[in-house]
Amino acid sequence: MSEIRFEYAVPGDILENYINGTYIPRTVWERVFLFLKSKGIDVYSPGQHQGKCTSPYVVLKNTGTMGFQGSNQIGSQTLDVIVYCPRSNYSDMEPYTVQIQSFLSELKEYIRPTGNITPVILDDNVNGYTQSIEYQTFQKLRG
């Protein structure tokens, strides 16, 4: 049996296998990425989206792991869910962000919101508005 490889572009067969429960994500980042894809969200890894923001999308970024004070065995990893909406659709930003948060609440056994949400800002590089929501997961540290 050939090994299933995760592709950032998520070919339909991998996504279908995830939805059907035959592909088990290897990391929390991968689980969140595939989960958002399965909900119909246009989601990318950092640097993957090209061009201007013409429709809402999300960039999912692993922002690091930190050990708990006094422990070298357990810690937490943070993920930034970076939300983008076109410059012409500021009024869509909050409802889209709330929808993403609602979807991610279904993954409460894997991630939890930290409460850190950046203000909405205009990103001239993509001609759209952006906002970041931080999530956290607890995990055993890799040695």
Look at 49 and 75; give whichever has higher pLDDT. Answer: 49
Type of residue at 17 = N
What whole-number distance in Å separates Cα of residue 94 and Cα of residue 27?
28
What whole-number distance in Å separates Cα of residue 97 and Cα of residue 118?
12
Classified as helix, coil or strand, 7 is coil
What mean pLDDT do residues 75-85 have? 92
What whole-number distance in Å separates Cα of residue 81 and Cα of residue 78?
10
> What pLDDT, in 10s, does the model give residues 100-139?
999 999 999 999 999 999 999 999 999 999 999 999 988 7
Task: Report the run of H or E that residue 30 belongs to, with start and end.
Answer: helix 28-38
Tokens 């004070």 -> residue: 69
> What pLDDT, in 10s, does the model give residues 25-63?
888 999 999 999 889 999 999 999 999 999 999 999 998
What whole-number distance in Å separates Cα of residue 9 and Cα of residue 59?
13
